[in-house]
Amino acid sequence: MSAAEDFFYRDLPAFADFNTVGDTASYRPVPGDWVVLASDIVRSRDAIAAGRYKDVNMIAAAVISAVLNRVGRDKVPFVFGGDGAFLLVAASDEEAGREALAGIARLAHEESALDLRIAAIPVAHLRAQGADILLRKYELGPDTYLAMAIGDGLELADRILKDPEEVKPFAVRIESPPRPNLDGLSCRWEPLPSERGRIASLIIKPRRIGAGLVPLAEIQEGIRDIVGRDPFGETVDANHVTPSRLRFKFPPPGLSLEAGYAGANWSRSLQWLKGALQSLAFVISYRTGWTIGPLNRDRYLKEISRQTDHRKLDDSLRLVLDVTLEQLESLKAYLETAFRNGRLVFGLHEADSALMTCFVSDLGASHHVHFIDGADGGLSMAATDFKQRLASLSMGV
């Protein structure tokens, strides 16, 4: 592998207008010897039914945190899926990525009694099956990016991961993996309440019509017309996280979960104390406006509004939107009509709030990203809804 391939993602040009996410000509193929690190929580619906979706989100975010901390945040494209995550690594980083995955799988079992499927699937294998992975890099903030992916390669990787026979050659099995480095992972914010009425978690995939796909821009325009604003733009109207939504309790209820994942058994109490002190510093800064260490309240609140993954493209468009009840019904009708007309497949889940899990690698340098998902199952339940509609097409329903 050449150095250029090793740093393919770091050197990929970034774009800053999400409205252009559907510009397929701007996507670049991933190097052929790269590997997809795939993860998914087994029986996540049972955890959701038990009211444990925050645990599910935490594990998915932990996968991303562990791999980025081990391999390097500037080298690794990632996608947060609510109940799992996908990352891509160079061949030279595969072993480190495997160990990070195995470490999180072990933690998920020990800390949350949840099982995590994990696999390392070569991009070359996906291409041999007729799929591909092409990427763009969306700029959230200073040196902070989200990967956008097309080519159906991640969708195929997800199917392989969940097929007990197909996944066998790629399943990650490491005895006694090292404990992963989860520095920067936190879940301290309260759920973000809907300000308009309902939180819609959406997964939308354009269908092929003739020789090409239905343009993503057509779907974006339909959603804009319904919600009466541009959720794909770069103005404050497009932000899901706003200062009025943010709620913070001291000590944060999620601190025990965070400490369990980030600290070894002997240091769990120390990890909790560290998090509590950081939270106290935040409360003081939030209430007084003081800058404490790298934490500048006004700058951080501005950045947190912008640096979220509430909209992304990973073969399907994934959105977490705050809408009125009337807009939600119009959105359902629009998507159902487009589905029946063969223009798209979609999945939808609604809730009264959203969840936010954070990865802060360097607060002083503004390097932080915040994973957004609808409460009570969010993107995971939307994926179930999506797959049911997709199955109905093959059955001719």
What is the pLDDT, as a whole number, of residue 253?
A: 82
Higher pLDDT, 366 or 336: 336
Q: Which of the residue ranges 4-13, 111-120, 132-141, 373-382 would you say has the lowest mean pLDDT? A: 4-13
For the cut 60, the answer to whether the pLDDT of residue 143 exceeds it is yes
Q: Which residues pair with 376 in a beta bridge?
A: none
Cα–chain-centroid distance for residue 214? Answer: 24
| 50 contacts 174 by C-beta, under 8 angstroms | no
What is the pLDDT, as a whole number, of residue 275?
A: 83
Burial readout 16-53 (b: 16 or more C-beta within 10 A, e: otherwise) = eebbebbeeeebeebbeebbbbbbbbeebeebbeeebb
What is the pLDDT, as a whole number, of residue 129?
A: 97
Mean pLDDT within 259-285? 79
Task: Map residue 373 onto helix, strand or coil.
Answer: strand
Least Cα distance to 361 among 159, 147, 34, 68 occurs for 68
pLDDT band at 2 (very low <50, low <70, confident <90, very high): low
What is the pLDDT, as a whole number, of residue 351?
A: 98
Q: Which residues pair with 201 in a beta bridge?
A: 320, 349
> What would the 3-class secondary structure string for 76-91 be?
CCEEECCCEEEEEECH
What is the pLDDT, as a whole number, of residue 210?
A: 64
Higher pLDDT, 282 or 15: 15
For the cut 90, the answer to whether the pLDDT of residue 230 exceeds it is yes
For the cut 80, the answer to whether the pLDDT of residue 266 exceeds it is no
Mean pLDDT within 319-340? 97
Write out the two tokens for 54. Answer: 């925050």
Q: Which of the residue ranges 66-80, 186-200, 227-241, 263-277 would you say has the lowest mean pLDDT? A: 263-277
Distance in angstroms (rounded) separating the CA atoms of residues 85 and 321? 20
What is the pLDDT, as a whole number, of residue 211?
A: 61
Residue with tokens 């007084």: 288
| 358 contacts 187 by C-beta, under 8 angstroms | yes
What whole-number percentage of the chain has pLDDT above 70? 96
Distance in angstroms (rounded) separating the CA atoms of residues 168 and 183? 31
Q: Please give the model's pTM, rounded to 2 decimal places.
A: 0.94
Mean pLDDT within 192-216? 89
Question: Torsion-angle region of residue 159: left (phi > 0), alpha (psi -120 to 50) or beta?
Answer: alpha
pLDDT band at 395 (very low <50, low <70, confident <90, very high): low
What is the pLDDT, as a whole number, of residue 228?
A: 94
What is the pLDDT, as a whole number, of residue 173?
A: 94
Higher pLDDT, 373 or 247: 373
Cα–chain-centroid distance for residue 221? Answer: 24
Mean pLDDT within 112-122? 97
**Which one-letter DSSP state was computed for residue 240?**
S
Least Cα distance to 84 among 17, 157, 148 occurs for 157
Higher pLDDT, 248 or 212: 248
Domains of the chain by start residue, with CATH: 8-180 (3.30.70)
Q: Which of the residue ranges 82-91, 228-237, 307-316, 348-357 would you say has the lowest mean pLDDT? A: 228-237
| 119 contacts 168 by C-beta, under 8 angstroms | no
Write out the two tokens for 239. Answer: 């932000």
Mean of the per-residue pLDDT values for the chain?
Answer: 92
For the cut 90, the answer to whether the pLDDT of residue 133 exceeds it is yes
What is the pLDDT, as a whole number, of residue 252?
A: 83
